Amino acid sequence: MPESLRGKGVIAGIAMGKVMIVGQNLDGYLKNYKPEDQAKEAGKIEEALQAVAEMLQGNVRTLQEKNMPEQAAIMEAHRMMAQDPMLSGSMMEKVGELGSAPEAVLAAAGESAAMFEQMEDAYFRERAVDIRDVGKRIAKYILGVKEPAMGDGAVILCGYEIEPSVIANIPTEKIAGVLLGAGSTTCHAVIIAKARAIPTVVGIGDDIQKIADRDDVIIDGERGDILIDPSEETRETYEEKLAKQQELKSYYAKLAPLPAVTTDGAHVTLAANIGTHMDVDTALTYGCEGVGLFRSEFVFMGRKDIPNEEDQFKAYKEAVEKCQGKLCVIRTMDIGGDKPLPYLNIPKEDNPFLGCRAVRISLHRRDLFLPQLKAILRAGVYGKVAIMVPMIINVDEFKKVREFFEEAKVELTHEGKAYSDSVQLGIMVETPAAAVMAPILAKYVDFFSIGTNDLVQYTLAVDRGNHNISYLYSHFNPAVIMLIQRTIQAGIDKGIWVGMCGEMASDPYAAVILLAMGISELSMSAPSIPKVKEKIRSVSMERAKEVLAEVMKMEDGNEIKEYLHKAL
């Protein structure tokens, strides 16, 4: 009997195929496992850690060879977890308590994951899945559990949680879609699926149990619809949609080398948001014109201590070189009390989003900030580079940043190290304070980049990770639109360029009004670039200004969104 479910569509596209349930339950294997003495159990853990690290290293190489840098970076993070002395040390302690190697591995991984799950930041909460994934891999190696075999056709992977390694290790052509009971846009399973443009629906909850292995399923990754055992008539309808989807994919591929120019010749730069230098290659295939946001905190994560200047220089240099002369905007470390960097010794805070984070830490930690600035300045020799400072709220903070910036140059000169004197220094406008102060701040900075994710939540007092009030979170809220227009106009008045690197930048309809406001650059996740480019190339600047004029008369965010979809 046909049945329909509803989740949250996070990666658009139609997928049809048979379900493959993944994420095996190990209870039966654990029950049948016969532990030996403690020394032998500890030896099994050591062997498994080494073997899993080598397997992951092999995965990294394979993914790099297949030009899948984002997936490779995630698997590299998993390899580092498998070789983390703290995690392995905890496993050895647990084997003394529990007597069973696989149970000790799962218990240690579970404890570590639980720490992440208590964090405020959604991104870091969902890293718990990665730790459990690594723990499960190690336990499965000890237990001798094999991965499920793939059939001939493409499947729809389904599970309450799907380990990122499962998706990363299956060839793209074998995965039609992904269904997750839990999950969100920031879990690594979704990040990998997004890099491959695999239609994905998350947040199905316990209804995931209504889907059985080998069920025929159709999913709509945009609407979040899931159709189980569809009728022949429904199947034919979706086959037509699937054919149109393939035509659109081919069309977008042809757009990649074309500029984002309106019908009357106005140009906006479409750049990519990246987490590691390996992401640049993928972004270029989607037609990006540089990097608008390099999240440098990834250089600081997965380590026992602060990365030194040389380590950072190598990471930034590779990204800059891969940009091939196009601008690479590197954001200074955006870390806070909610993020797991033990070596920073940041005390736990009741509200870390309003606490000691980002530039507030940098300005108080010369040992952190100065080496980072020096490393970026040195990377500037190999291309076009800009430094973006997050969470600035006043002029005094930026003046202190500028002092560090100049001191970094002086030190490099004394050390005889080459650096670029043309590196721009700008700020991320992500607080209402910075947006209100934009006309003043514009006198001191080289550029603005508007970070809408935080700007929306701070302006509207809406936690973007709180599902109960998610209906209030909208970048089309007039208060947000007014602050954005004020920021862009302040930049124009002072002759500096203004970009945007939040989620709003990837909204094709928002792109039109931002273009009319005078934005210079839009930076987004690479797969979003073709849709935004298509919309920009379909309108004239004159029409965009007419639409903006109407939007600025409106009093409600939903009204604005509905109008844009009708008008464009």
For residues 15 and 34, membership in a common domain is answered with: no
For residues 136 and 152, membership in a common domain is answered with: no
**DSSP secondary structure of 351-417:** -GGGSSBTHHHHTT-HHHHHHHHHHHHHHGGGSEEEEEE-S--SHHHHHHHHHHHHHHHHHHHHHT-
pLDDT at 229: 93
Domain limit, last residue, from 80, 108, 143: 143
pLDDT at 331: 96
Q: Of 329, 325, 322, whose CA–CA distance to 522 is shortest?
A: 329
Tell me the pLDDT band of 452, cut-offs 50, 70 and 90.
Answer: very high
Mean pLDDT in residue range 289-312: 85
For residues 112 and 89, membership in a common domain is answered with: yes
pLDDT at 260: 96
pLDDT score of 119 more than 70 = no
Q: Which of these is catalytic: 78, 188, 277, 475? A: 188
Amino acid identity at 236 = E
pLDDT score of 304 more than 70 = no
pLDDT score of 1 more than 60 = no
pLDDT at 201: 93
Mean pLDDT in residue range 280-308: 84
Residue where the block lists tokens 């996740």: 525
pLDDT at 529: 93
Percent of residues, the chain, with pLDDT higher than 90 = 57
pLDDT in tens, 461-476: 988 767 678 789 899 9
pLDDT score of 174 more than 70 = yes
CATH number of the domain where residue 494 is located: 3.20.20.60
Collapsing DSSP states into helix, strand and coil, what is residue 451? Answer: coil
pLDDT in tens, 509-537: 999 999 999 999 999 988 889 999 999 99
Tell me the pLDDT band of 206, cut-offs 50, 70 and 90.
Answer: confident
pLDDT score of 303 more than 70 = no
Residue 208 domain flag: yes
For residues 390 and 328, membership in a common domain is answered with: yes
pLDDT at 69: 67
For residues 32 and 18, membership in a common domain is answered with: no
Domain limit, last residue, from 205, 231, 257: 231
Four-point Cα dihedral 362, 364, 365, 370, nearest 10: 60
Tell me the pLDDT band of 339, cut-offs 50, 70 and 90.
Answer: low
CATH number of the domain where residue 209 is located: 3.50.30.10
pLDDT score of 71 more than 80 = no
CB 272 within 8 A of CB 524: yes
For residues 220 and 272, membership in a common domain is answered with: no
Mean pLDDT in residue range 82-86: 86
Residue 243 domain flag: no
Collapsing DSSP states into helix, strand and coil, what is residue 151? Answer: coil
Residue 262 domain flag: no
Tell me the pLDDT band of 566, cut-offs 50, 70 and 90.
Answer: very high
The verdict on whether 364 is a catalytic residue reads no
The verdict on whether 501 is a catalytic residue reads yes
Residue 261, Cβ density class (10 Å: 0-12 exposed, 13-18 middle, ≥19 buried): middle
For residues 14 and 34, membership in a common domain is answered with: no
Tell me the pLDDT band of 302, cut-offs 50, 70 and 90.
Answer: low
CATH number of the domain where residue 62 is located: 1.10.274.10
Q: φ, ψ for residue 403 (rounded to 5)? A: -60, -45
pLDDT at 115: 80
For residues 113 and 186, membership in a common domain is answered with: no
Domain limit, last residue, from 113, 143, 173: 143
Q: Tell me the residue range of the domain where 347 lies.
A: 267-531
pLDDT score of 184 more than 70 = no
For residues 347 and 217, membership in a common domain is answered with: no
Residue 257 domain flag: no
pLDDT in tens, 17-50: 999 888 666 777 788 889 999 999 999 999 999 9
pLDDT score of 425 more than 90 = yes
Mean pLDDT in residue range 399-405: 97
Residue 444 domain flag: yes
Can you tell me the distance from the alpha carbon of 329 to that of 401, in angstroms, rounded to the nearest whole number?
Answer: 16
For residues 39 and 88, membership in a common domain is answered with: yes
For residues 124 and 180, membership in a common domain is answered with: no
pLDDT score of 52 more than 60 = yes
Residue 211 domain flag: yes
> Per the confidence metrics, is the pTM higher than 0.95?
no
Percent of residues, the chain, with pLDDT higher than 70 = 93
Can you tell me the distance from the alpha carbon of 373 to that of 417, in angstroms, rounded to the nearest whole number?
Answer: 13
pLDDT at 237: 92
Residue 292, Cβ density class (10 Å: 0-12 exposed, 13-18 middle, ≥19 buried): buried
Residue 110 domain flag: yes
Tell me the pLDDT band of 436, cut-offs 50, 70 and 90.
Answer: very high
Q: Of 170, 145, 195, 119, whose CA–CA distance to 17 is shortest?
A: 170
For residues 66 and 134, membership in a common domain is answered with: yes
pLDDT at 83: 87
The count of domains in the chain is 3
Residue 456 domain flag: yes
pLDDT at 351: 77
pLDDT in tens, 221-279: 988 999 999 999 999 999 999 898 888 888 888 898 999 999 999 999 999 998 777 77
The per-residue pLDDT of the chain, averaged, comes to 89
